[in-house]
Amino acid sequence: MTRTRLAAVTAAMLAVVLAGCSGGSDGSTSSEEENSTSAGPVTLTYWTWAPNMDKIAEVWNAANPDIQVTVNKQAGGDDAAAKFLTAAKAGNPPDLVQAEYQMLPSFVAAEAVADLTEEAASLKGEFSDGLWNLVTLGTDSVYGIPQDSGPMMLYYRKDLFDKYGIEVPKTWEEYAEAARTVRKKDPKVYLGTFSSKDPGSFAGLAQQAGGQWWSISGDAWKVNINDAATTKVAEYWGGLVKEGVIDDQPYFTPEWNKALNDGTLLTWPSAVWAPGTLSTNAPDGKGKWAVAPLPQWNEGENYSGFWGGSSTAVAAKSPHKAAAVKFATWLNTDPEALKLLVEEAAVYPAATKGSEALTEAPEYFENQPDFWKQASEVAATARGFTFGPNVNVAYDAFKNAFDKAVQEKSSFTEALNSVQEAAVADMRNSGFQLAQ
């Protein structure tokens, strides 16, 4: 009798504890099901790190009482991607997520984002082919709606260029020559820095040179991170670092901020979103920085690459796919929303008609009224490439390999080869079909 009582008590306790564990999720799934079937308002959660996105969502919410969007502010970058993948794995992702182009293939491969072909294929005409390719991954499916893009330009300290008597470099050769000149004139000043912590920036420079890191051929992936174009870029920067004519400290550190701010760093090859970074990280440089197209590999060429940029994707597990696509479509293609994206979120819209909203130069660049004209000219020359399903692995390998190469002043080509090896090994290990 005591034994049965003991068993009963144990069972009851277990039942209580287990019920406590599972109660929450049970409740939420049933309410979500109700939402999707009943006519009541749908509530969508949206993970994004673009500033003021909550204000833009408010405009939508006021006009669409049936579809209410709640913005959940995220930290950007790799952490945001990891968090979304983890949430998707755990089964409670947000309905909408800001997905950087290079992370989208990982999201697709992990089956974390929904295929939006049915709802969004008609939007193709709103975007340039290059950008549209980034959300289709070169397939017939659509995995996200492009939001912003980051064509790269050369940001430089106009006042100090004048002071040191340097012309804005038109080719990378001239850039190297200018780097040497600067060191001669003032040994405390660098023309630029190579950041081993920003594979995204390096990818943009590789795109400019014509690199194609991943591509799909038939039913197999082709990985070519150390192709001739990219090797050329790696050798170029490796040479400059070894020679000591450019700095080797990573971007986005307090050290780098200080250099941007106090005029000991004269250029930053960066994307169209750089004014935001400059105005917060280098407030003293306001009105002193200017923008020009990236230096070219061959005289007379006119190419750029993309650094960053993101799309709006819908989680595969979202019960409100149609509503989510509706909001994402409005956000990224409606003229009113594009205007808000430019003014509130300070992004460079991916939609072609977004350039209409870009009239006034960013405050930081008030000395350059044609800022957006320059930007849209550069954007037209930017070439991208397909990102593979394990960009995260390649980028992590990039950071470790180039950190080491910078530290030991060793060969950047070797570092690049090790990134290629790491990416291929990872894909082979996972079982991806690889083309030879």
Partner 1 sequence: MNTTAPRKPDGGRPAGRQRRGRGGAHRVSAAPYLFLTPAVVLFTLFTAVPVGYTVYLSLRKIKVSGLGLGKGSRQEVFVGLDNYVAAIGDAELWAGWLRVLGYGTLVLVVMLGLALLFALLLDSAHVRLARFSRIAIFLPYAVPGVVATLLWGFLYLPSLSPITKVIEIDLLGSGTVVFSMANVAIWGGVGFNMLVLYTTLRAVPRSYYEAARIDGASELQIALRIKIPILTPAIILTTVFSIIATIQVFTEPTALRPLTNTISSTWSPLMKVYRDAFVTGDLYSAAATSIVIAGVSLILSFGFLRVVRNRAFGEG
Q: Does 252 bind partner 1 (CB under 8 A)?
A: yes
What is the nearest approach in angstroms of partner 1 to the Cβ of residue 197?
A: 7
User: In this complex, which beta carbon is closest to partner 1, that of residue 380 or of residue 425?
Assistant: 425
Nearest-angstrom CA–CA distance, 101 and 99 = 6
Q: What is the DSSP letter of 297?
A: S
Q: If binding is defined by CB under 8 A, does position 86 make contact with partner 1? A: yes
Cα angle 268, 270, 271 (rounded to 5 degrees) comes to: 155
Residue from 197, 288, 339, 383 binding partner 1 (CB under 8 A)? 197
Strands 214-217 and 306-314: unpaired
Q: Two tokens at 232?
A: 């050329």
Q: Are 240 and 205 in contact (CB under 8 A)?
A: no
Least spacing, CB of residue 211 vs partner 1, in Å? 21
CB of 101 to partner 1, least distance (A): 15
Among 270, 311, 386, 390, binds partner 1 (CB under 8 A): 390
The binder of partner 1 chosen from 102, 106, 267, 332 (CB under 8 A):
106
Q: Which is nearer to partner 1, 194 or 364 (CB)?
A: 194
Per-residue contact flags (x/-) with partner 1 for residues 397 to 436, judged by CB under 8 A: --xx-xxx-xxx-----------------x---xxxx---
Residue with Cβ nearer partner 1 (252 or 366): 252
Of these, 109, 168, 322, 346, which contacts partner 1 (CB under 8 A)?
109
Q: Which amino acid is at 17?
A: V
DSSP 22-45: HHHHHHHHHHHHHHHHSSSPEEEE
Distance in Å, CB of 285 to partner 1, minimum: 16
3 binds partner 1 (CB under 8 A): yes
Of 182, 146, 148, 149, nearest to 164 by C-alpha is 182
> Between 367 and 386, how does the x/- string for binding to partner 1 read (CB under 8 A)?
--------------------
Of 177-196, which residues contact partner 1 (CB under 8 A)? 196
Tokens of 385: 């490439």
Q: CB-wise, 36 or 249, nearer to partner 1?
A: 249
Binding part of the chain for partner 1, among 54-62, 107-115, 122-130, 337-345 by CB under 8 A, reads 107-115
Query: Any contact of residue 72 with partner 1 (CB under 8 A)?
Result: no
Report the residue number, 151 or 199, with the smaller CB distance to partner 1. 199
* By CB under 8 A, residue 216 contacts partner 1: yes
Give the CA distances from residue 170 to residues 55, 155, 180, 208, 295, in Å, rounded to whole numbers and listed in that order.
41, 13, 16, 14, 5
* Six token digits for residue 307: 């650094």
Neighbours of 262 (CB within 10 A): 13
Q: What's CA 362's distance to the chain center, in Å?
A: 21
Residues 395 and 382: beta-carbon distance below 8 Å: no
Residues 6 or more apart whose Cβ sits within 8 Å of residue 33: 319
Which stretch, 8-16, 169-177, 322-330, 347-355, contacts partner 1 (CB under 8 A)? 8-16
To which H or E segment does residue 147 belong? strand 145-157
Torsion of Cα atoms, 134 then 434 then 236 then 405, to 10°? 110
286 binds partner 1 (CB under 8 A): no
Output 343 or 432, the one with its CB closest to partner 1.
432
220 binds partner 1 (CB under 8 A): yes
Q: Which of residues 125-164 bind partner 1 (CB under 8 A)?
A: 137, 139, 141
Residues 339, 332: Cα–Cα separation, whole Å: 10
> Is 259 among the residues that bind partner 1 (CB under 8 A)?
yes
Q: 424: closest CA among 394, 385, 384, 386? A: 394
In the complex with partner 1, which residue's Cβ is closer, 170 or 197? 197
With CB under 8 A as the contact rule, the residue among 32, 54, 58, 78 that binds partner 1 is 78
- Report how far apart, in Å, the C-alpha atoms of 415 and of each of 229, 230, 231, 404, 425 are: 15, 12, 10, 8, 15
Please tell me the count of residues contacting partner 1 according to CB under 8 A: 57
Q: Least Å distance between CB 395 and partner 1?
A: 8
Residue 431's nearest CA partner among 390, 401, 397 is 390
- Which residues in this chain contact partner 1 in the complex, by CB under 8 A? 2-3, 6, 9-10, 13-14, 17, 21, 78, 82, 85-86, 89, 105-106, 108-111, 115, 137, 139, 141, 196-197, 216, 219-221, 248-250, 252-255, 258-259, 389-390, 392-393, 396, 399-400, 402-404, 406-408, 426, 430-433
